Structures are given as C-alpha cells and as structure tokens.
Amino acid sequence: MNKIYKPNRTDWNEILKRPTQTIDAIEDIVNDIFKEVKKDGDAILRKYTQQFDGVSLDDLLVSALEVEEARTLVSDNLKTAIRLAKSNIETFHKAQITDRVEIETTSGVLCWQEKRPIQKVGLYIPGGTAPLFSTILMLAIPANIAGCKEIVLCSPPDKEGKLNPAILYTAQLCGVSQIFKVGGIQAIAGMTFGTESIPQVYKIFGPGNQFVTVAKQIATKYGVAIDMPAGPSELLVVADDTADAAFVASDLLSQAEHGTDSQVILVSTSEKMIDAVELEVEKQIKDLPRKKIARKAIENSKLIYVEDDGTAIDLINVYGPEHYIICSKNEDFYIDNTFNAGSVFIGNYTPESAGDYASGTNHTLPTNGYAKQYSGVNLDSFMKSMTFQKITEKGIEKIGNAIEVMAEAEGLQAHKNAITLRLNSLK
C-alpha cells in the first residue's frame, strides 16, 4: 500500500488522481458503437453481446418464464434480506416526497411548483463478476415512488445467456416493466435510440465501468439525460486513534473487491492507525474470495498521514469521495465541514456496506470527483419540477407596466405588445 506522509498541498491533485483512463482513450469506441446501434438496432446489440459477453441470443427480452424460474432459485434467506432492504429504502425515499409550493407573489399573480415523474427511465445494472441486484432496489424503488410509467432494465448476460436469478427476482419485486439481456456500451446506446426490442428512454440511471460511464456521457449528446457520471467505486475513510483498525481495513477492502479499477484511501491524523490498518488489510485480504481483484485495487490505494483535522478536511473536500466514512472523536467537525461527498457514514458501527444494501439511503453516487457538483440518486432524480402561473385582470394591471418597460429595454417589442394589448383591453 502507498504510504504518504504530510503531503504538500501543491501535490494533492497528483496524489489523489483516480486510476481511470481518460475519456479520449475510449470515446472513439463508444461513438462507433452508438452509430451502429442507431443504424441497425437489435442486430448490433446481438453482435456486441456475442463479442463482449460470449453468448449468442435470439431474444434480448427476458421472458415471464425466466422471471418465474429465477424466483424459485433465490433462497428464502436472500428474499427476506431483499424485502427488508426494500422496506427501508422505500421508507427513506417516500420521506423525500414534497408538497406543491404555491404563493401569490403579487395580488392577482398566483405561482406554483409541482413535481412530475419522468415518464420513461432506463436502469443499467452491472453484471459480470458481481451482479449488483442491490442497485435495482436503489433505482426501481424511487422510480416507482415517483410514478415513472415505464421502467426499462438492461444487464449483461452470463455465458449461458441468462441473468443472475437475484437480479430477475429483485426487478420483478420492484415493478420493472421490461428486462433486457444487454450490457455495456451497447445497452446504453439501445436505451438512447430505442431498437426493435428496447424502448427509447428519457433518462438513464446506474453505475458501470469506464466504458459505461463514457457511454452515458455520450448519450447526453442525443437528448437523453443521465443521473450522473458514475464509474468505478471509491471510498475514503478519515480515522484517528478512536477508530478500530480492523473495521477500517474491512471497509477499505469492501470497496477494493468491487473491481481492479476501484480506489480506496485512508486519511489519518495518527501514524499508529495507518500502520495498524495496513497490517489488518494484509491479514483480511487473504481470506477474500475476490482477493485477486482486491489486491489490484489496493495497488491504487493511499494511506495518507496529515497533522491535523483542518488539513484532513481540506484534502477530503479536494478529493470529493463517492463513499466517505468518518471515524473520529471530532466527528461533528468533519460532518459540518464536508462539502464534497456522495454519501457519508459516521462512526465505528456505520460501515459503507450498510448504505450499499439496507440502511435506506441510495448507493448510486457520483464518482471520480463529481461529488463536487452532483448529488447521489434520490427521489427527485426521477422527477421534474414544473412551474405554473395564473394571472388575473388585477394581477396583469399590477405587473404589466414593469414587464413593458423591461421588454422595451431589451428591444423585444413583441413581448411588450403582448402586455400592452391586454392592458388596453381592460381600459
């Protein structure tokens, strides 16, 4: 692991670089696949499913029979766990429902704001080495609460042309409209343009590797919105001597096992804690089934010693972590002064895993420093705020002259005329 002691502020950006490729390195690949999918639809989806996933599919849509078979393959224990998580996630996201905002700004001028659902949404669920059925809970639940009419899900198939049973069970439980066995760039392109099988959507949600992240960004060029740039997973832990080194190591490894391009960072005001965590990581990693993946990710990890909490919080805000754990006697200081983070976990008994699965918060979060300007997925992510206004005769008399003066000052005579005609009709 890379130990760094008292780094100069001028070196922070270099030290905190993510282990990701530049967009330029993969943008051409994404653009080429997008053009093919736009032109030839399902045929191209099948072509790249064969190339990247190693399976030839006749039908991309998951059948009702496949969903029913998957339900019988999921253990009762896992079903119970999924239902508990679903309940907590529903509770937290239902609490985010807001009332209509209405106010009379001037006598006779009524303005209000209402939220309406995005009608068609697409959910991307990573498969591969870790089929993230938990992400379905995080996306489909708020989509349903918001009232989205069409919820489309895409996920890469395995070598047998199937999706993980837990993915199908969770999708059915959460009311997903249609499920497709398509992954990667081609899935994002399919939801962007629509094909013979996959409906076109208005907004795409879900994490993925660097190719999926770039594909989502390219999708925005074609009029499709995205939740955020969500790429390889990352975690930063800030810890002092009040932390438990074994707990901290387990949290670092929980993110490291996501993928070889994941990044984990420990920032500490205690050299003793850094040494203890390093030993614990080596001890715990040996027993992990995904230790090869975790070891590769650990190569990208940093153990950073800083002298005080003030320096630590400045460094954390520069990094803008996706997941952020605070284990410090001065936790209030870190809570109050953290401005850039996707989701925050506080105290020795609040592991990041809780937010990934069952505490109720959403785990679809901005990575790669985008926490500086993006929020994690929430209920509002699936909705649009629309404003309304209704003006009476009295109201137009109250504000009409101001509008005429402003329109004329901007040289927009038709705008002024729209008011003048109405005011004259009232004389």
For residue 363, indicate whether it is catalytic.
Answer: no
Which residues 6+ apart lie within 8 Å of 224 measured at CB?
Answer: 191, 192, 201, 202, 203, 204
- Please check whether residue 235 is in contact with residue 251, taking contact to mean a CB–CB distance below 8 angstroms: yes
Helical residues (DSSP H) of 95-223, grouped into ranges? 133-146, 165-173, 184-193, 210-219
**225: β partners:** 203
What length is written for the chain? 427
Report whether 287 belongs to an annotated binding site.
no
Report whether 408 belongs to an annotated binding site.
no
Report whether 93 belongs to an annotated binding site.
no
Report whether 11 belongs to an annotated binding site.
no
Report whether 356 belongs to an annotated binding site.
yes
Report whether 323 belongs to an annotated binding site.
yes
Report whether 258 belongs to an annotated binding site.
yes
Report whether 107 belongs to an annotated binding site.
no
Strands (E), 219-291: 225-226, 234-239, 263-268
Q: State the catalytic residue, choosing from 66, 234, 280, 322.
A: 322
Q: Which tokens is 112 given?
A: 């209000």
Report whether 233 belongs to an annotated binding site.
yes
Rounded-to-integer distance, Cα 313 and Cα 51, Å: 45
Report whether 255 belongs to an annotated binding site.
yes
For residue 323, indicate whether it is catalytic.
Answer: yes
Q: State the catalytic residue, choosing from 66, 278, 280, 323.
A: 323
Rounded-to-integer distance, Cα 376 and Cα 89, Å: 14
H or E element that contains 49: helix 42-53
Rounded-to-integer distance, Cα 306 and Cα 270, Å: 8
Question: Active-site residues: which are they?
Answer: 322-323
Annotated binding-site ranges for Zn(2+): 255, 258, 356, 415
Binding site for NAD(+), by residue number, is 124, 186, 209
Binding residues for substrate: 233, 255, 258, 323, 356, 410, 415
Binding residues: 124, 186, 209, 233, 255, 258, 323, 356, 410, 415
